[in-house]
Chain A
Amino acid sequence: MLTVTDLAKRHRRARRPLFSALDFSVAAGEIVALVGESGVGKSTLLNCIAGLETADSGSIAIGPQALDIVRLDESARAALRARSIGFVFQAFHVLPTLTVAQNIGVPLLLCGIPTSEHPARTQALLDGVGLAGFGPRWPASLSGGELQRVAIARALVHRPALILADEPTGNLDPRTADEVLALLLERVREQQTSALVVTHSQHVAQCCDRTLTLTPDGLR
């Protein structure tokens, strides 16, 4: 579902490449943890995979059609993200001006799924993340854990091929973090979706199928 081949990226004005010759892949239904020290380029790698930054060389094939996001233009990247990638962020990034149900509905709108299907799919996801009845509520009234559950529902609602999660539990207390992580992994496995989870937490990494460690010298 995700195949990264010979990927290299250097920072602007930086002489040394941030990383180079990265090769790895995430199989369908596989959950891979990406760990590494701060500043080693985890977020940049994630941004490159999401098409938010452009790698200097190499390729990143995503989804069943294995489209190479490095070679797509900006609009096509946006379209690919809308269709094939779900995002979970450390800072939740739930839109405060939309209701919970609307937040979850956004990816459905972005990938053009007929609006008649939205209520049922949104409802199913809300039930799935344990937020039944939260649909009409405003994000401001939700706790951090609840917000991240909304984000998980939003990441999965359009059945993407790949989930990119950036420190999904970083802003949560340990107990809530465990619950949310368990929920995320459970839902991802249930949907047979691949996932790449960037994390500092050993615990989170252990819960994943496989762990990749990014070091200045490359992947381990």
Chain B
Amino acid sequence: MRRRSFLCAPLLLPTLTPAAETRAAIAYPPAVPGVELAFPRDHGAHPEFRTEWWYVTGALDSPQADIGFQLTFFRSRPGTAEALQSPLAARQILFAHAALTVPGDRLRHAERAARANLGAGFSETDIDVHIGGWRMFREDRGSGEVLRLQMQSAQFSYDFTLTPSQALLLQGEGGYSRKGHAPQLASYYVSWPQLQVAGALVLDGKRQAASGRAWFDHEWSTAILDGDAVGWDWVGINLDDGGALMAFRMRDAHGATLFAHAAWRDADGRLRQFAAGEIGFTPVRNWSSPHSGASYPVEIEIRLGELTLRTAPVLDDQELSTLRPAPVVYWEGLVHVEGGLRGRGYLEMTGYADPLQL
């Protein structure tokens, strides 16, 4: 599921909300079970689906411990201009979002948007997506494959090389990942945990060598959000012992869980999936945002069967607000996980400031 699937909401600047929808006519393919994913082909874009993202979150150990970073490319097919022949037709829109959490300091972030073919583009056969000078791509080197992340902004820039230490993790049923009780609410979801980070971080004009660990997600879908859902909570954690944990739940307006799923691959590569009934999310400590007034359960107790974990944020204020494509306020940041499993990763909480709109 996850993350800002609100992006597939009709894209448009706030002043441009259309009175009539033209995208109803577009037939988006649904995510269906039983499709065998092939790589690197399925690393590439699936432009016929409504929404797709390539998402890297990670934690650095140098130049400073617990610096969190995130770089995401979203692809959206709004259903407009489908009939145009022009190469500039706005059939595929790309958004990119980057954030950096420095403990004891503050969260920085930057974003970009463009239509494909006009200062931006994506590959349909491999990971390679860019907007201007921001780029995420896969490279086959003699020593093996790597992921490259490049972004620049006034506040921070980075150029990281991510070296995989483990195999891809296909979520759900071989990559078919359900997001609700209805079978059509699903996506294709591929994760790549435990990536070794090396490269350079430019912070406040200072360029420093950086290293750490990251998590890659690639997900494409057409419909994922249940009608009653107002938001979700999600974690993707690189465990200290080399294991990997992903868990999410969909919430309704009362904070009750509508749907949940989790997957834990231990250090030996054994995968354990948890059904909705085995999963519990319990707020332990809330943090109230001085910016939006929203209250986020930054410390959550997560129950996975017999396991109990607790999240602890490296910085309380990791709230983000973005204007593009639509104004959205949410919390997404680096947390430590303690309890039955120990590790570091990203927690995302949406729908606390305002219900997410689809």
**A–B proximity contact (CB within 8 A):** no
